[in-house]
Amino acid sequence: MVTVDGPDNPRVVAKPWWNAERQALLDQLREARPPDDRIAARPRHGRPALSLAQERLWFVDAVARGTGVNTVSGGLWLRGELDRAGLHRAVRGIVARHEVLRTTVHVDGDGRLGGLLTDPAVPLPVLEADGPAEAVRAAKDLASARLDLTAGPLLRATLLRVAPEEHLLVLTAHHAAVDRVSLEIMVRELVAGYVAPGSVEPPPVQYADYAAWQRRRFASGALAAQVDHWLDRLRGARVLDLAPECPRPARRSYAGAVVEHAVAPGAAARLAALGREHRATPLMVAIAVWALALSRLADRPDVVIGTPFGGRDRMELHRLVGCFVNLLPLRIDLAGAGSFGALLDHVRDVMVAAAANAEAPFDAMVRGLRLPRDPGGDVPLIRHVVQQAEPMPRVQAGSLELVPQDIDIVVARFDLTVFARTSGRDGLDFRIVYATEVLDAAAVRRVVSEVDRVCAEVAGEPVRSFSV
């Protein structure tokens, strides 16, 4: 649990191993960068620059109008005596500090996209809920309501009152303005601003500064080598389709369903041990398991699996709200993996190379590969995603306890999205969101059964040769 004791200690410390010496070292490294490689605050005149992610998500909005595909939501139970005015002040402070939460996207007369800053005011309506279960249901309804990227607001905050000392705060934002790390930043600032009003300093740069810097780097050719890395890796890759007989809808609803699956304890423990032996993270282990299962189901020696990379490797961005995440297509070659350990080594190497080339814009890969879009407007490069599920910690703000509440809005952006969750020392389970327009429950059961077989084989004989 992260604790904020009071006005004299307003900071929420997310990493207890951090200290002033390490901060000073990172500041020195940052200063050592060439001036043209730094993200600098720009004069505030004219329209804010848009990042490549904002443009891409505007396009997704245009195609998927009427759906919640670009909505990011989170809930916080507030238990204890609550100062509603203080909470509202803290929410308004977040929106005032981070311009991206009030930057809408518009098309000008020449057909070009541009940003426009809107009113920083954000209301905090209070709704009554008859018990926690009803509050969670109401939160899901609130999170399902679409956010308009062209009109705003891009952040909605609602307080559900269950009892005098029990409330559920629901935060819903457009993905063009936030990613999951941004939600954690917002919660930290919310707590600090609630406990000690005026104590939270604005970030050193704004998201528009990052967007302008990103565009300069791309235009200068600084990212060309990274784009070439992906073109070399992906050229010739085939789309992995688990239901080739099912036609793709001309207009997707992004309707989905969820399957929860826990890996057997013995298999999970063996997978965790192999991960430690091969210096592979739990996410690398999960990707290896799913790559092997999908390759067997599709009867092919290589698969492409998407996974998000955070995109916050610069100190200027660590406290900044915005969409920095980049979904990268990992091409996993299983032909040369004679054992699961060898496959883990390969996945680790692929992910290390991906991290070194993580700035490459996804749209540049699509253009370089000349990939056509399917009838629903999607690019058939990534249809299966595996990512790490990272729940937010509980927070204590004086006498007020903040407990995260998942708001599970089932939106299927891909055919399969797998959230790998670890528990205890070796526990492992998967939350699987699948698109009901292209996969039925029976098909997903077959996939889960193959995943189970892979895990059982690894647990029973970890050094055997694997057939694809």
**Per-residue pLDDT tens digits for 161-201:** 999 999 999 999 999 999 999 999 999 999 999 999 999 99
Given a cut of 90, whether residue 204 has pLDDT beyond it is: yes
**H/E element, 460:** helix 441-460
Domain(s) labelled CATH 3.30.559.30 in the chain stretch across: 222-390+408-460
For the stretch 10-41, pLDDT in tens is 333 344 444 566 556 656 555 555 555 789 88
Q: Locate tokens 């883990």: which residue?
A: 344
Number of neighbouring beta carbons within 10 Å of residue 425: 8
Classified as helix, coil or strand, 286 is helix
Q: How confident is the model at residue 121 (pLDDT cuts 50, 70, 90)?
A: confident
Q: Which pLDDT belongs to residue 44?
A: 78
Q: Which pLDDT belongs to residue 47?
A: 85
Average of pLDDT values for 97-124?
88
Domain(s) labelled CATH 3.30.559.10 in the chain stretch across: 2-211
Given a cut of 90, whether residue 82 has pLDDT beyond it is: yes
Q: Contact 460/269 with Cβ under 8 angstroms? A: no
Q: In 357-415, where does DSSP find H-type helix?
A: 362-369
In terms of average pLDDT, the best of 12-21, 131-140, 377-386 is: 131-140
Which CATH superfamily does the domain covering 2-211 fall into?
Chloramphenicol acetyltransferase-like domain (3.30.559.10)
Nearest-10 Cα torsion for 214, 218, 220, 225: 130
CA 383 – CA 305 distance, rounded (Å) = 7
Q: How confident is the model at residue 309 (pLDDT cuts 50, 70, 90)?
A: very high
Number of alpha helices (DSSP H) and beta strands (DSSP E) in the chain = 12, 15
Phi, psi of 437 (to 5 degrees): -75, -20
In terms of C-beta distances under 8 Å and separation of at least 24 residues, what long-range contacts does 86-90 make, across chains too?
86/194, 86/197, 87/124, 87/159, 87/169, 87/190, 87/194, 88/124, 89/193, 89/194, 89/197, 90/189, 90/190, 90/191, 90/193, 90/194, 90/197
Given a cut of 80, whether residue 464 has pLDDT beyond it is: no
The answer to which of 119-123, 275-279, 313-317, 379-383 has the lowest mean pLDDT is 379-383
Q: Locate tokens 């005015």: which residue?
A: 85
Classified as helix, coil or strand, 442 is helix
Number of neighbouring beta carbons within 10 Å of residue 109: 5
pTM of the model: 0.87
The closest of 425, 391, 422 to 263, measured between CA atoms, is 422
**CATH code matching the domain that covers 222-390+408-460, chosen among 2.40.160.20, 3.30.420.10, 3.30.559.30, 3.90.1150.10:** 3.30.559.30
Structure tokens at 8: 């004299």
Phi, psi of 357 (to 5 degrees): -125, 30
Q: Please report the sign of the dihedral spanned by the C-alpha atoms of residue 171, residue 174, residue 175, residue 177.
A: negative
217-231 per-residue burial string, b: 16 or more CB within 10 A, e: under 16? bbeeeebeebbebbe
Instruction: List CB contacts of 416: < 8 A, sequence separation 6 or more.
Output: 242, 383, 384, 385, 432, 433, 434, 435, 439, 444, 447
